[in-house]
A and B are shown apart, each in its own frame.
Chain A
Amino acid sequence: AQKVTQAQTEISVVEKEDVTLDCVYETRDTTYYLFWYKQPPSGELVFLIRRNSFDEQNEISGRYSWNFQKSTSSFNFTITASQVVDSAVYFCALSDSQGGSEKLVFGKGTKLTVNP
């Protein structure tokens, strides 16, 4: 069965600290896709990154970086030098071929609060 676990419910940091959000997933498929979405206080869901199961290269985009490790089924997200605007709920999600469509299975989210 597909499952995404985000064990950290809430994290609070002070501005400029680095913070890592954990994501562990389960799937029977060998081909799958992992995503991170940001949900700011205004409520919309903003796509951040997609990673396929065959590409284990880590990715960096500005202050954001992602560490994908198939051996531990993890897809962690690090924000370097956090800013107040990073305060949001962050969701990790999985898509595979089970069920007939590419639906997203979301984790419960991690609420990040960055204090000035």
Chain B
Amino acid sequence: EPEVTQTPSHQVTQMGQEVILRCVPISNHLYFYWYRQILGQKVEFLVSFYNNEISEKSEIFDDQFSVERPDGSNFTLKIRSTKLEDSAMYFCASSGQGFRGQPQHFGDGTRLSIL
């Protein structure tokens, strides 16, 4: 069964550094999302992306964050200058085209630790 893949599985970065999290969505999917989960808390929406542009973003997704689909397969989340509070599990998800309400399929996540 097709999967969403995320790399790396764990990223350790010094505060203030830039970090790029990578995702390869399911190949025929058109809608892409990033979510984050601070340890022990609920999963929070960050941003949705469709047709090469952001369709919605949350209050968390401030100017330090950006997303890109640099080619036909990768979908990246960049954090420009990381803060301690950015430490979390980051999940990428994708869903297909067609009717509304299609389930989002999640990658295994990238655990980001900011020191």
- A residues engaging B (CB < 8 A)? 31-33, 35, 37, 42-47, 50, 52, 91, 93, 95, 99-109
The CA-CA distance from A45 to B48 in the complex, in Å, is 18
The CA-CA distance from A108 to B42 in the complex, in Å, is 5
- B residues engaging A (CB < 8 A)? 31, 33, 35, 41-45, 48, 50, 55-56, 58, 89, 91, 93, 95, 100-109, 111
CB atoms of B42 and A106 under 8 A apart = yes
Interface of B is mostly: strand
The CA-CA distance from A31 to B48 in the complex, in Å, is 20
Q: List 6 A-B contacts (CB under 8 A).
A: A43-B111, A45-B106, A46-B106, A101-B50, A102-B100, A104-B93
CB atoms of B45 and A105 under 8 A apart = yes
The CA-CA distance from A52 to B101 in the complex, in Å, is 7
B56: which of A31, A32, A103, A109 is its contact (CB, 8 Å)? Answer: A103
CB atoms of A101 and B101 under 8 A apart = no
Q: Which residues of B contact A102 (CB under 8 A)?
A: 31, 48, 95, 100-102, 104
CB atoms of B45 and A104 under 8 A apart = yes
Q: Which residues of A contact B102 (CB under 8 A)?
A: 50, 102
CB atoms of B109 and A43 under 8 A apart = yes
| B35 (CB) vs chain A CBs: closest residue | A104
CB atoms of A47 and B105 under 8 A apart = yes
Q: Which residues of A contact B111 (CB under 8 A)?
A: 43
